[in-house]
Amino acid sequence: MTHWGGFEALSDGQRLTDVRPLVDDPDPSPLIHNVASAQHAPERIDQPYVRAGWYRDGPGAPGRGSQEFVPVSWDTAIDLLAGELKRVYTDHGAASVYGGSYGWASAGRFHHSQSQLHRFLNCLGGFTYGVTNYSYGTSEVLLPHIVADSDEVMRGATSWQNIAEHTELLVAFGGLPGKNAAVTSGGIRRHSIGPSIADAHRRGTRFVSVSPLRDDTPPEAQARWLPIRPGSDAALMLAIAYVLIDEDLLDREFLATHTRGFEEFEAYVLGRGEGIAKDPAWAQDITEVPAADISGLARDMARHRTMLTVSWSIQRNQHGEQPVWLAIVLAAMLGQIGMPGGGFGHGYSSSGYIGRQRPAVQLPAVPQGHNPVSQFIPVARISDMLLNPGASYRFNGRTHTYPHIKLVYWCGGNPFHHHQDLARLRAAFQCPDTVVVHDPFWTATARHADIVLPATMSVERNDFAAGKNEHIVTAMPRLTEPAGRARNDFDIFADLSRTLGVEDEFTAGREETDWLRHLYRELTERVAAHDAEWPVPDFDEFWRTGRLELPQTAGDQVLFGRFAADPESNPLPTASGRIEVFSPSIADSGAIPGHPVWIQPDEWPGNPSYPLTLLANQPRSRLHSQLDGGAHSQADKVAGREALRMNPRDASARGLSAGDLVLVSSPRGRCLAGLRISDDVSPGVTQLSTGAWYNPDPDDPAFCRNGNVNVLTADRPTSPLTQSCAGGHVMVEVARAHL
């Protein structure tokens, strides 16, 4: 199982000789074909390494990211790392260690790198940790103020079956990108987004895709495309709200009984106070969507059972709170929240689990123990933390202080993929005394470390997996021997914990097989508690057959359905118990206004030096930056670089042709890319996916030879409220490259 799907494989014991999708997957992802080709790629780390300067001069030695590495034995690596951990914890305390893992290393309930790292560090006394995420961190902070916890909103979303049966109009801000729906954290066994959309369309659901990219919605939807200027969705939504108010197409009874603060929002939309009515003519100049189309869409929404959805990409921008909040407000204005097939969703097609019925039992996880350290950062503020120890920052209405980090420990993650302004991140990575990385591959993060330990891939270890809203748990027996001298993260931490005197606390007296049986027993006990008659095989039978089916929840949209039916008896978990159109807690934070508004981003069309808006979206040929060296990912390159897409009109104006090697420039950096020309991209817009491995010029860290878009993007937060990633858009210029 991988995050992008399950597969069966033939193996000669050392490598996979054939990879095939599971027979019960109706629409398997081709990303599975990256696995076998990447396993023994030249980028694979074959044994432990230590950076030459650190090995010679000790912690804090300069030159991180630009020096050669010295190969060492496992015994030497464990001794060096254990000694450094003991020094840092003794001299500087637990808060000086940043446990920076991110959770996408590989599917699997036991070999989950982040859990393993955090459990180990908690055995030593704790660590500074990260909160929120790069995917939907803005919404993770915002939604509890407005409606409910983000996990409840997304895991409890209206099912695609419900949409097919009841939704007449589905309006997708940011589209419904099928490539993103092919992925679910923890694994996805059945890819169903294409068939689900096709079923809904066949039953009469009409789709409208509001996106700068025509192909942001699968062809099965036969969607009407409304091309929009990137970053202007909030203005479009405000104009829709204006039409609903002006033509009395809103449900004032629902607003009176189920929301708080609509009066303040209505006054803003109508222009009372500042004197600017947010009507379709106003929005047309901002969004490039004709006023007549805006008015027509508003009327269409009011006349039909309508589902509004906002992709995660929309909130991954400066002021990304606004369109998410506005979609909820529009759904409330229509009065359809809680109705079958109506209301709002967040992230349909941003991940494969949204719109699928959730299992009735919670999956087990490796217990991480207790972390006594209270200091944390939003994950997207890592450069700020490393560069500015002791500085204060605002987050979710409170003031916090950045700790002074001496040691960064990264296990199964690659911040040089996720983060923005990579030249700044590279400077930030010079600040700690020591950087430690576990990884199967020489990613940019590994190349900016001091101690690099080779980790196994999932095909080289035993585990079992099930992603969010998955109903089948999949056994994952080891398919090959580890490449080189790679070891499981658990075994590395077990050796370190033994050297540091905390082995019993970390391992709990269990080895890999013992942990798998222990976690499986937890799962079967939960199933039995839910339904004593549910068939559950013992562990040996599960391992032989390869699967365990879980019971599903009954019902759909339980939280919002109950709330809509009786808001007094079933209030939402907000300050008022209602949908917060105006939020006093947000207003009191001073970070953003107390109701949704239009705020123009700092980077906006009008700068002649950077006239094109570049979309930095998720790739179609890999998950994030994983296995970029795999055959499927490499086949998607152009001129050996990441592919940049551009409208024919913009290419012609620059004298560019398909297949050209181009130089993409922003106020922060430059990268090479290979050009594709497509009518699916709006004029004035370019698109360059994230995830190409950062390969900087030795003398210029702001220049990437492979096409990593994050040398171009700005390391600024969405807002002081959410402090999340705002790397979705950047203003650029594109020209032919001359090497």
Residues 217 and 345 in one domain: yes
Q: What is the pLDDT of residues 574-624, one digit of tens each?
A: 999 999 999 999 999 999 999 999 999 999 999 999 999 999 999 999 999
What is the model's pTM?
Answer: 0.97
List the catalytic residue out of 49, 55, 89, 102: 102
Residues 6+ apart with CB under 8 A from 58: none
Residues 202 and 331 placed together within one structural domain of the fold: yes
Judge whether 221 and 209 are in contact, CB under 8 Å: yes
Cβ 482 vs Cβ 79: under 8 Å: no
668-682 CB burial, b ≥16 within 10 A, e <16:
bbbbbbbbbbeebbb
In a domain, 420, yes or no: yes
Residue pair 419/425 in contact (Cβ under 8 Å)? The answer is: yes
CA distance 90 to 558: 50
| DSSP E strands, 28-114 | 49-51, 69-71, 97-99
553 pLDDT exceeds 90?
no
Whether 558 has a pLDDT exceeding 80, the answer reads no
| Distance separating alpha carbons of residues 33 and 632, to the nearest angstrom | 6
pLDDT of amino acid 412: 87
Query: Where do we find the tokens 């594109």?
Result: 734
Based on the domain organization, do 656 and 722 belong to the same domain?
Answer: yes
Task: Judge whether 98 counts as a catalytic residue.
Answer: no
CA–CA separation, 106 and 413 (whole Å): 10
Tell me how far apart the alpha carbons of residues 236 and 143 are, in angstroms, rounded to a whole number.
21
Residue 644 has φ and ψ, to the nearest 5°, of: -105, 130
Q: Are residues 101 and 174 in the same domain?
A: no
% of the chain exceeding 90 in pLDDT: 96
Q: In this structure, is residue 473 part of a structural domain?
A: no
Residues 716, 97: Cα–Cα separation, whole Å? 24
Residues 8 and 93 in one domain: no
Does the annotation count 104 as an active-site position?
A: yes
Active-site choice (49, 98, 104, 282): 104
Using the CB atoms, write b or e for 306-340: b if 16+ within 10 Å: bbbbbbbbbbbbbbbbbbbbbbbbbbbbbbbbbbb
pLDDT digits (tens, 9 = 90+) for 210-262: 999 999 999 999 999 999 999 999 999 999 999 999 999 999 999 999 999 99
- Per-residue pLDDT of 611-659, as tens digits, reads 999 999 999 999 999 999 999 999 999 999 999 999 999 999 999 999 9
Mean pLDDT of 402-424: 96
Instruction: State whether 323 and 378 are in the same domain.
Output: no
Query: Looking at this protein, which amino acid is placed at residue 267?
Result: A
Tens of pLDDT, residue by residue over 466-486, are: 999 999 999 999 999 999 999
What pLDDT does residue 556 have?
A: 67
The pLDDT of residue 557 is: 64
**Integer Cα distance of 411 and 431 in angstroms:** 19
Q: Are residues 311 and 423 in the same domain?
A: no
Nearest to 452 by CA among 5, 28, 38, 46: 46
Q: Who's near 352: CB < 8 A, 6+ residues apart?
A: 181, 182, 183, 184, 188, 191, 192, 193, 467
Q: Residue 683: exposed, middle, or buried by beta-carbon count in 10 A (0-12, 13-18, 19+)? A: middle
DSSP letter for each residue of 260-292: E-HHHHHHHHHTTTT-----HHHHHHHH---HH
Cα 557–Cα 560–Cα 564 angle in degrees, nearest 5: 130
Place 102 in a pLDDT band, splitting at 50, 70 and 90. Answer: confident
Query: Which residue among 292, 322, 355 closes a domain?
Result: 355
pLDDT exceeds cutoff 80 at 73: yes
As a whole number of angstroms, the distance between CA 386 and CA 98 comes to 10
Residue 518 resides in a domain: no
Range of the domain at 21: 1-40
Asked if 399 and 338 sit in the same domain, the reply is no
* Each residue's pLDDT tens digit, 331-353: 999 999 999 999 999 999 999 99
Among left, alpha and beta (phi > 0; psi -120 to 50; other), residue 361 is: beta
Q: SS3 helix, strand, coil % of the chain, rounded to 5? A: 35, 20, 45
The tokens for 590 are 């001073």
- Note the pLDDT of residue 103: 73
Q: How far is CA 240 from CA 263, 628, 720, in A?
A: 17, 41, 27
Q: How many domains does the chain have?
A: 4
pLDDT digits 0-9 by tens, 491-528: 999 999 999 999 999 999 999 999 999 999 999 999 99
Q: Can you tell me which residue has the tokens 């090995």? A: 55
d(CA 509, CA 491): 13
User: Read out DSSP for 684-706?
Assistant: TEEEE-S-PPP-EETTEEEEESS
Domain CATH for 325: 3.40.228.10
Alpha-carbon distance of 376 to 402, in angstroms, equals 8
H/E stretch holding 200: helix 193-202
Beta bridge partners of 265: none
Residues 74 and 294: their CA atoms lie apart, in Å, by 63
| CATH number (domain holding residue 439) | 3.40.50.740
Q: Are residues 346 and 378 both part of a single domain? A: no
Asked if residue 567 belongs to a domain, the reply is no
Average pLDDT, the chain: 96
Gap between the Cα atoms of 38 and 433, Å rounded: 32
**In-domain check, residue 549:** no
- Residues 182 and 280 occupy one common structural domain: yes
Residues near 146 by Cβ (< 8 Å), separated by ≥ 6?
325, 328, 574, 579, 580, 583
The CATH code of the domain that includes 622 is 2.40.40.20
* Tokens matching residue 450: 């001091």
Specify whether 209 is located in the same domain as 351: yes
Q: Using one digit for the tens of pLDDT, what is the confidence trace for 160-213?
A: 999 999 999 999 999 999 999 999 999 999 999 999 999 999 999 999 999 999
DSSP state of 96: G
Nearest to 548 by CA among 521, 584, 510, 580: 521
- Residue 543: inside a domain: no
Q: Name the domain boundary from 320, 355, 390.
A: 355
